[in-house]
Structure 1
Amino acid sequence: MGSLARCVDRAVLIDAAVSVSVVVLATWWWHQFRLGGLIYGLLTGTVLLWRRRRPVAVLVAVGVIAALTAMIEVRGTQLHEGMLLLSLAVATHAVLAHTPSLRTAGAWAAASLVGAGFLVNARPSATIADPVGVIVRPPVDLAAVGSSVLDLAGFGALVCAAGLSLRFLGVQRVTAAERRGNAERERAQLARVAVAEERARIARELHDIVAHSLSVIVLHAQGAEYAFDRDPARTRAALGTIGTTGADALEEIRQLVRILRDGGGGGDEPAPDHTLASVVERARAAGAAVELVVDGAPAELPRGVALAVYRIVQESLTNALKHAGPAPAVTVRVAYRPGAVELEISDDGAPSVRTPSGGHGLIGMRERATLYGGTFDAGPYLGGGWRVRARIPLISAGVPA
């Protein structure tokens, strides 16, 4: 909106400057004040203020004013032909630059050149008291006429070239703006699709988490009912497990629902035996030199957080295998902090070949981290290569640090 306002303001200033210039030139042409020039300049300058909005009407009006000025000349008020031609040139330029139809613009420009030729070669020597001289004038100098025609042709060519150049420049600007707008909308749509797909996969994982938690609750509830009279201690243990499992699942659901409220069912959860060690081993088997560093005592993470950690590490190793070159050296650091788990995956590959802004895998990792209120960033770092960092807070306050 700001750029549009600046363009409008600039156009208004240019139009005002053109109109003022016409008034000044018409009044003091060849450094001599002319009353007729002042009147002509005021009329023509006012009309030219509308040359962008109504270019054809402005050209017609300027032509009529110029013709009347040429026909009705009172002693001491005569204008030089150059002033009349300059006014027509400005109006013709506006027609070529701002008329929607190029064919229409060309026709009016040709008519303007014909009119300019009439003004130069058929200008009367009569006064207002001798209007017959408008049409018929004493012998014509053919050499002078030929020279005037050549001058008009060259002048017209310059005007046409300037007007058409401005016209095509405007078309190119509009086309470029439309292309940029289409590209931005396409990128936004692709990003929305990628986010929606990733949320759908997370929603499927949510289903598995809930199914697991409810299965545990149902089994312990049935066991507690069976042992209620026979084994009170076993019943109390089962009820405690039910409470803990339900509380953890409820907290996970509350966080997931905030983002997945509009999402569908989701993605592929790793098999029960898929751990960080197993995904590291698979990356090593694929040719990467992977070092797994664990800082702190491994905590029993909530199921959703564990899946997020697993997927972030898995996607980071996959990206390293794709982009870091053959046999990349990768370091996976997992730090169990009080109330959070921190991840850092770095490799020694060239960062210039990465495309972080358009990678759907990076979008998915960011979604997984932010889903649990965590943070995520990825990009090149000073030591060379690529680094992924994530911090995910632990949901349950009872998880050991």
Structure 2
Amino acid sequence: MPPVVAGALVLNAALTGTAGPIGYALLLGSAALLYFHRTSPRPVLALATACAVAYMLSVEAEIVAGLPAMIALASVVRAGQRSFAVTAALTLTSGMVAAYLLAGQPVVEAVKGGGLVMGWFVAAMAMGVALLGADERAAEAERTREEAALRRAEQERLRIARELHDTLTHEISIIKVQAGVAVHLARKRGDAVPAALEAIQEASGQAMRELRATLEALRDDTVALARLPGLVERTKAAGQDVRLTVEGRPRPLPEPVEQAAYRIVQEALTNVSKHAGDGAAADVVVGYGTAGVTLKVDDNGRAPGSASQPGVGLTGMRERVSALGGSLSAGPRPEGGFSVRAELPA
């Protein structure tokens, strides 16, 4: 667009034959400003207005010189800064009236001419209002699509929860019961209980607990950091030593940040119970800062392998953090155990 506007300005000036080097410089300079009218509408409008008024006063009272300013007017109104646009339009009109007076026109004719020119600037602002309305409608349509996607995701979560409950829970329960009966009968007869059978009983019980936690997560998407004490208490009840510390002043955070923070701590504690070993303790620290929230989950158990090859849990954490523009680090601690640290912006 700037080259087209520059061409129109230069052609018009060439036809009138009154613009000298300074006039062409003002025209080309104002046209070049349009490269930035979307990113910096107010500075562009201020400079384009100054160039147009300078051209009108020093060369001729020509409305075409205000073309870049008109385009910038629409951009400023589109950005929601109408008062600034009105001030610029009045300045341009006043410059045109002053140019008419300097050209020797009567005061009444000069004011009438300025009024007619004002109509062009009003039309430019009206275009900005129309563009702003189109932007708002597009944003509303995007919000509607997002809400529909969230509803579909919630329905899919519930469907998955029902499927898991109807299939896996039933089958794992049967395995656990049968293994328990076999262990009981073996002990009743005085026989040695096979280690594999005890491992099946223990693994099935652990699988049931993890599956219940998964179903709870699928059915409930209203998690928040305020529910962390409850998560810690449930983890303690399962036999894991966990300590929760809150630093800073707790405050409500955006819902996506609250959900991601809760899920990260939940997954980190799940990893502790899986990999840290018996007797391991975990420290959970939630720090509220001005820029967001910091999460730390440290344990003193066994580190689960190399952090360069993360499992599904760590991958899920990284995806949640990346989606919010935060950072995550996870790996073995020098003093032993494993550490997870996440920073989420508010």
| Higher RCO (CA < 8 A, seq sep 6+) | 1
Q: TM-score range by the shorter chain?
A: 0.3 to 0.5
Hey, which of these two has a bigger chunk of helix by percent? 2
Larger CA Rg, structure 1 vs 2: 1
TM-score (norm 2): 0.47
